[in-house]
Amino acid sequence: MDKIVVLDFGSQYSHLICRRIREFSVYAELVPYDISYEELQKLNPTGIIFSGGPSSVYSSDAPIPENKIFDMNIPLLGICYGHQLIVNKFGGKVKRANKEYGSSLLTIDSDKDLLNEIGKSMKAWMSHGDEAEQIPEGFKIIGHTENVKAAAIAFEEKSIYGIQFHPEVVHTEQGTGILKNFVLKVCGAKQDWTMEGFIDTAVERIAKIEGNVLCGVSGGIDSTVVALLIHKAIGDRLKCVFVNNGLLRLNEEKEIKDMFKDNFKVDFTSINAAEQFLGKLNGVEDPEKKRMIVGEEFIHVFTDFAKNGGPFKWLAQGTLYPDVIESGVSKGPAAVIKSHHNVGGLPDWLNLEILEPLRELYKDEVRKIAKILEVPEKLFMRHPFPGPGLSVRIIGEVTPTKLEICKIASKIVEEELMNSGLYEKVWQAYAAVGDDRAVGVVGDERRYGNIVMIRVVDSVDAMTADWTRLPHELLEKMSNRITNEIEDVTWVTYTISSKPPATIEPQ
């Protein structure tokens, strides 16, 4: 399989480069910038991309890849900081410039190869404080903006390119087209990354493992697809366990039991551990601590079950690439955004080996697999739900009152979206609650109650998200129902922060 390898220099957009490339059926993998020449050779890349990053090439601690990597005689594309690395390496000059953040008009000076069929100009997303003052010998300028004369450069004989802007973000017009030109036209990569192929490879690999597998299922698309893949590979050596942690959506336990019973021929067990989880969370306010506690309690439950219902050698989980990235244990120099219960929450004493078949996939890729495996549409279109459950939608301590508010308010939000025909058109929707309170008037009496925050977002892969512009009339219905049907709520707000800078979940 042809492969594009992306060297990660710390850009918040690094993983989006891989995501965009996979959209046109070519496999892309992210590796740390300091990967050795020998290790990179073993990956046998068809092309290499240097990501952007916050550093300056002239800083003493600037991240620099091994020199041999520049001379591998395979196509190379540098983006933003990666572009400046190429300029600096081949004898050009990079200078400090006025920081530029936002959209600029890129004029195309040469429409060969990288910028082929892009047009005469396009909007390009800039995020940089340095720029190329002098390009190296052998390179030519193929695109410029009003402020950056060398916004795109090329050494065509060696298939080396540099661009100062970010083609991977949606704010860059024709950005996907530029990446596609590099991958398909410059690198000549074959489009052989398909989910049908992934299923075959995953099943073949899983079939070779020894021992029984315990799979934690939540009723969500990720863990369900994991269970079906493993069952396809090893059959009755798989046992699925659903744990009610007391932090589920309204009536969710019954819905999940019915769904597995009616649709899947797997060994399924349900465990009610609500009291155990809520007891451990009592008095805990810090969101990271809550995530870690939930993660550890899941492992306690699974380990106890394994002792009595086993023996088991493996614990399977529905971990995805974004989970790994945000938990700070990805292959690049990413910062920890928030620990995911099935990644950062795994304790050292776990005596089961971890099986994560979807660890390198994005959410939309998992949904494609679900379609192929004929997962029922009701589950297929179900909104993502965080592993730590409502504990991360309750800001501060998890209390019975806030838990009840969160369950009922979220159900109202989902019901009104379904009634309006919008549920399947948005990525995720829920209601959150914290400790803030506000005065309201019910009848002629003053009431001091909780504030509920409605959150509805649009996304493709959960890496980035934008708040959904719902009709005002729909928001009014949600607000009226929440304040009328939940006695402890007086105010309802709508959250309009996108990711980044916010995250999809409040904690």
Q: Considering only 95-99, 172-176, 257-261, 270-274, which range has the smallest mean pLDDT? A: 95-99
Catalytic residue list: 80, 166, 168
Domain covering 393-494 assigned CATH 3.30.300.10 in the classification: yes
Give me the amino acid identity at 137. E
What backbone torsions phi and psi does residue 344 show, to the nearest 5 degrees?
Answer: -70, -15
Q: Model confidence over 19-60: pLDDT tens digits?
A: 899 999 999 998 999 999 999 999 999 999 999 988 888 888
Omega cis (within 30) before 136: no
Q: Considering only 90-94, 148-152, 348-352, 366-370, which range has the smallest mean pLDDT? A: 348-352
Confidence of residue 158 (pLDDT cuts 50, 70, 90): very high
Q: Is a pLDDT exceeding 70 seen at residue 129?
A: yes
Cβ proximity of 373 and 401 under 8 Å:
no
pLDDT at 143: 94
Percentage of the chain with pLDDT > 70?
94
Q: Considering only 2-6, 94-98, 169-173, 414-418, which range has the smallest mean pLDDT? A: 94-98
Domain boundaries, the chain: 3-186, 195-380, 393-494
Q: Model confidence over 260-292: pLDDT tens digits?
A: 888 898 999 999 999 999 999 999 999 999 999
Domain covering 3-186 assigned CATH 3.40.50.880 in the classification: yes
More confident site: 154 or 338: 154
DSSP labels for 335-378? PPS---TTTTT--TT--SEEE-TTTT--HHHHHHHHHHTT--HH
Q: How far is CA 103 from CA 97, 117, 299, 340, 411, in A?
A: 16, 21, 46, 33, 39
pLDDT at 299: 86
- How large is the average pLDDT for residues 158-173? 91
Omega cis (within 30) before 376: no
pLDDT at 345: 47
Q: Is a pLDDT exceeding 70 seen at residue 327?
A: no
Q: Is this structure's pTM higher than 0.85?
A: no
**CA 269 to CA 70: how far, in whole Å?**
54
**Do strands 93-108 and 140-144 pair parallel, antiparallel, or not at all (unpaired)?**
antiparallel
The token duo for 457 is: 């977002």
**CA 300 to CA 302: how far, in whole Å?**
6
Query: Which among 409, 429, 412, 432 has a CA at the least distance from the CA of 470?
Result: 429
Query: Which among 8, 49, 53, 48 has a CA at the least distance from the CA of 31?
Result: 8
Total number of residues shown for the chain: 507
- How large is the average pLDDT for residues 97-118? 86
**CA 177 to CA 183: how far, in whole Å?**
10
Computed over every residue of the chain, the mean pLDDT equals: 90
What is the torsional sign of CA 23, 26, 27, 29?
A: negative
Confidence of residue 427 (pLDDT cuts 50, 70, 90): very high
Terminal alpha carbon distance of the chain: 39
Confidence of residue 348 (pLDDT cuts 50, 70, 90): low
Q: Is a pLDDT exceeding 70 seen at residue 346?
A: no
Query: Which among 343, 336, 434 has a CA at the least distance from the CA of 393?
Result: 434
Domain covering 195-380 assigned CATH 1.10.290.10 in the classification: no
Residue 262 CB partners (closer than 8 Å, separation 6+): none
**CATH topology agreement for domains 195-380 and 393-494:** no
Residue 140 CB partners (closer than 8 Å, separation 6+): 110, 153, 154, 155, 156
**Do strands 489-494 and 445-459 pair parallel, antiparallel, or not at all (unpaired)?**
parallel
Q: Model confidence over 175-217: pLDDT tens digits?
A: 999 999 999 999 999 999 999 999 999 999 999 999 999 999 9
- How large is the average pLDDT for residues 108-129? 89
Q: Model confidence over 216-225: pLDDT tens digits?
A: 998 889 999 9
